[in-house]
Amino acid sequence: MSRALSRWAAIGIGGSLVGFWIIAALFAPWLSPFDPLANLQPLTLPGTRGEGGVIYWLGTDLLGRDQLSRLLYGARTVMIWSSLATGTAYVAGLILGLLAGYYRGWTDRILSFLANVVLSFPVLVLYVVMIVALGASAANIVIAVTFASAPAIFRLVRAVTIDLRQRDFVLAAITQGESDIRIMLVEILPNASGPLVVDLCLRFGYTAITIGVLGFLGLGLPPPTPDWGGMINDGRAMAIVFPHLVLFPCLAISSLMLGLSLFADGLKEWANRRSGGPA
């Protein structure tokens, strides 16, 4: 009973945190009190009342841009590009993992070798090298995340496919003469969805953090795009005197990652329960 309550509590709390930032991203133009690029009153503290009676709820940065507005628009930036990068990496990893796990042989050996070569490099170093080589842009971030993340997804999909390939329902489909593509997409992939959904949630969080880290290093989305990592980078020089410049974007990244982690853990417990694992 206690495990069931903790499972649903994790899903509820994690889903609420993620849902909060999804709503913030969707409705940023209506929730933001100011234009995130407008230069208003520089370096005001949270709660400061400005000219005309306006209130800067989270203060402003060095250029006078409203922190709350940039935080909300930054959520949109993170959601859009993290979703696109994670989705692209998953498409590549799914296709290659299904092919390697289903056909085995030389297909598996070649793809596994290439995946192991990429995985042998430290992920952050790989990101930095690729962004420096390609240039800092949203499209290049998607390319870098796809190149660095797809091999890990490939290995997960490959392992699950190898296991499911030996199951009776797959062997029955082969006996009936169903095409390989249909077997992979209709028989194997749906039955592999449990661990893949959990990994997808966690990987989305890792991608969001990656975009933040690249922004902090000055290799993220080009300014003046509202970006949580870029906000931390812009405010770090004044952080001792004006800690709100880095505190709020750090809390935003942490809360999103916490929500995704809790949600993924809850889903993992639920999937184990359905598959007959311990409650």
279 in a domain, yes or no? Answer: no
pLDDT tens figures, 150-166: 999 999 999 999 999 88
Whether the Cβ atoms of residue 11 and residue 270 lie closer than 8 Å to each other: yes
What's the whole-number mean pLDDT along residues 245-257?
92
115 in a domain, yes or no? Answer: yes
Distance CA 90, CA 151 (A): 10
249 in a domain, yes or no? Answer: yes
DSSP string, 38-103: ---STTPPTTEE-GGG-EETT-B-TT--BHHHHHHHHHHHHHHHHHHHHHHHHHHHHHHHHHHHHH
Hey, what are 82's tokens? 């993290």
14 in a domain, yes or no? Answer: yes
The whole-number pLDDT of residue 54 equals 87
Q: How far is CA 170 from the centre of its chain?
A: 32
45 in a domain, yes or no? Answer: yes
* Residue-range definition of the domain harbouring residue 40: 2-274
Residue 138, CA atoms < 13 Å, CB-side half-sphere: 13
Q: Model confidence at 278, in pLDDT bands (50, 70, 90)? A: very low
Q: How many CB atoms lie within 10 A of CB 98?
A: 24
97 in a domain, yes or no? Answer: yes
pLDDT of 279 over the 60 cut = no
pLDDT of 274 over the 60 cut = no
What's the whole-number mean pLDDT along residues 108-122?
92
Distance CA 28, CA 58 (A): 15
189 in a domain, yes or no? Answer: yes
Whether the Cβ atoms of residue 239 and residue 245 lie closer than 8 Å to each other: yes
Hey, what are 25's tokens? 């991203």
What CATH number does the domain containing 229 carry? 1.10.3720.10
- Is 275 strand, coil or helix? coil
Question: Poorest-confidence range of 91-95, 122-126, 176-180?
Answer: 122-126
Domains held by the chain: number: 1
The residue count for the chain: 279
Question: Poorest-confidence range of 23-27, 131-135, 178-182?
Answer: 131-135
The whole-number pLDDT of residue 162 equals 93
Hey, what are 167's tokens? 């199951």
